[in-house]
């Protein structure tokens, strides 16, 4: 139990919650949310301490169980996602691990996309197998494949939309119907879109997962994660495990991402507009074989993106450079990336600084070649997370490599 939410009316827009939702101010009346760097909290007396440790009354005892700064971030993100509550974790992968460890047991079955983030595939497909959990990977865009993969033991459908790095979408509402018809839960990783573009619970998702390291922070400073959902499941089950297991977010990192939420809408909208312009421009370059971006009309799921993502394509795009053999494609992709001087060559995304990376050797480098091919991650694929630089400078930066390909 944490301190109550600040006194806000119901029904406000997400942009308002992004700057206003937090725990009640302290007696000092601070305007900006306070950063509580403390491992423990002093109690009035033994009786009140006993009640708080037993969670019979609101109040803080130990930062691993609850902290006002962390609670402010959790309440703000939950309000933005339209869920009852949220729990914050050390990283986005810790949030996915928390979902897996609290919703699955030996003998259970998971269905997930074959084109998700490489670490998510590794966690669900390999690490959870050690505990007797089976995972089936299916085509991200083929709803019939998700339906056909259902077993009596299916307990969780895990979706990432758009996917990293090919920006494939899944129809959240259809997957929710499949999950609920099987008596399973649907969890959606919303890190690429953020609650600015889509709120998965509005389409029937049970759980929403975030890597706060990405768009929520927005400036590449700290790592953070979160799971949003119902009070009963997220706080009652996952929160209980989190408090025992120690996966909880530190107060300092919570304060950083709490501040990041305040500018999230402005950044996502501006970066999405820039990504659309850059993707459109890349489509016309002779050394670009294909561009993957939901905001483009050429994207096979453009209509779904416009309906599901508030009419925007998001901040991340990917493109394939021209080439023939895998060796040539890899060399050409490296050539384009290595000649940039403005873009940052790093695998992180969601930053105000544009980042560029080669997924086949970074984010999906631990997968087998067969897994990469199934995910569509070819050696010539380049992923760009568009930031806030001037568009002319980004185009010129990419031309240094594209115009000098042999």
Could you tell me the CATH number of the domain that includes residue 89? Answer: 3.40.640.10
The token pair at 186 is: 């649907």
| Model confidence, pTM | 0.94
Among 134, 171, 130, 164, CA closest to 151 = 134
- Residue 3 inside a domain? The answer is no
Last residue of a domain, one of 240, 262, 284: 262
Q: Phi-psi region for residue 41, left (φ > 0), alpha (ψ -120 to 50) or beta?
A: beta
Identify the band that residue 373 occupies on the pLDDT scale cut at 50, 70 and 90: confident
| Mean of pLDDT values over 310-336 | 97
- The number of distinct structural domains making up the chain is 2
Which tens digits make up the pLDDT trace of 163-206? 999 999 999 999 999 999 999 999 999 999 999 999 999 999 99
The domain containing residue 331 runs over which residues? 265-402
Q: Are residues 258 and 319 in the same domain?
A: no
Percent of the chain residues past pLDDT 90, beyond the cut:
90
Alpha-carbon distance 298 to 138, whole Å?
23
Last residue of a domain, one of 262, 284, 311: 262
Percent of the chain residues past pLDDT 70, beyond the cut:
99
Domain with residue 303: its CATH number is 3.90.1150.10
pLDDT of residue 189: 98
Q: What is the dihedral sign for C-alpha 126, 127, 130, 136? A: negative
Which tens digits make up the pLDDT trace of 46-87? 999 999 999 899 999 999 999 999 999 999 999 999 999 999
H or E element: which one contains 225? strand 225-229
Q: Are residues 283 and 177 in the same domain?
A: no
Tell me the pLDDT of the chain averaged across its residues. Answer: 95
Which residue carries 């992923």 as its tokens? 383
- Residue 105 inside a domain? The answer is yes
| Mean of pLDDT values over 13-35 | 93
Q: Are residues 208 and 231 in the same domain?
A: yes
Q: Are residues 203 and 334 in the same domain?
A: no
Do β-strands 154-160 and 185-189 pair in parallel, antiparallel, or remain unpaired? parallel
Q: Are residues 233 and 294 in the same domain?
A: no
Q: Please, what's the b/e burial string for 64-82 (b: 16 or more CB within 10 A of its CB; e: otherwise)?
A: ebbbbbbbbbbbbbbbbbe
pLDDT of residue 3: 52
Q: Are residues 281 and 237 in the same domain?
A: no
Identify the band that residue 375 occupies on the pLDDT scale cut at 50, 70 and 90: confident
Which residue carries 């070649």 as its tokens? 369
- Residue 150 inside a domain? The answer is yes
Last residue of a domain, one of 262, 295, 328: 262
| Mean of pLDDT values over 115-121 | 88
């Amino acid at each position: 139990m944490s301190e109550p939410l600040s006194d806000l009316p119901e029904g406000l827009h997400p942009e308002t919650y992004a700057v206003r939702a937090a725990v009640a101010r302290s007696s000092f009346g601070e305007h900006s949310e306070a950063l509580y760097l403390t491992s423990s909290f002093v109690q009035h007396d033994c009786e009140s301490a006993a009640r708080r440790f037993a969670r019979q009354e609101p109040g803080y005892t130990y930062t691993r169980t609850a902290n006002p700064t962390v609670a402010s971030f959790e309440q703000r993100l939950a309000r933005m996602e339209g869920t009852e509550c949220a729990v914050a974790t050390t990283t986005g992968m810790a949030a996915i691990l928390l979902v897996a460890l609290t919703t699955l047991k030996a003998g259970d079955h998971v269905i997930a996309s074959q084109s998700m983030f490489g670490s998510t595939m590794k966690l669900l497909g390999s690490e959870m197998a050690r505990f007797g959990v089976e995972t089936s990977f299916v085509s991200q865009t083929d709803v019939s494949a998700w339906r056909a993969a259902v077993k009596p033991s299916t307990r969780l459908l895990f979706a990432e939309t758009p996917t990293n790095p090919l920006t494939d979408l899944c129809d959240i509402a259809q997957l929710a119907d499949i999950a609920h018809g099987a008596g399973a839960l649907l969890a959606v990783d919303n890190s690429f879109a953020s609650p600015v573009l889509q709120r998965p619970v509005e389409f029937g998702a049970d759980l929403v997962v975030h890597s706060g390291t990405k768009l929520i922070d927005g400036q590449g400073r700290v790592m953070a994660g979160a799971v949003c959902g119902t009070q009963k499941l997220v706080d009652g089950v996952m929160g209980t495990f989190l408090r025992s297991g120690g996966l909880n977010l530190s107060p300092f990192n919570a304060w950083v991402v709490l501040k990041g939420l305040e500018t999230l809408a402005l950044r996502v909208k501006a970066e999405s507009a820039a990504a659309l312009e850059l993707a459109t421009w890349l489509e016309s370059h002779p050394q670009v074989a294909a561009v993957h971006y939901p905001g483009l009309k050429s994207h096979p799921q453009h209509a779904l993106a416009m309906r599901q993502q508030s009419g925007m394509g998001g901040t991340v795009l990917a493109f394939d450079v021209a080439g023939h053999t895998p060796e040539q494609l890899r060399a050409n992709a490296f050539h384009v990336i290595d000649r940039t001087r403005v873009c940052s060559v790093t695998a992180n995304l969601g930053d105000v600084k544009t980042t560029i990376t080669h997924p086949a050797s970074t984010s999906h480098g631990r997968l087998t070649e067969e897994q990469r091919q199934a995910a569509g991650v070819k050696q010539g694929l380049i992923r760009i997370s568009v930031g806030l630089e001037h568009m002319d400078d980004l185009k010129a930066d990419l031309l240094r490599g594209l115009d000098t390909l042999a």
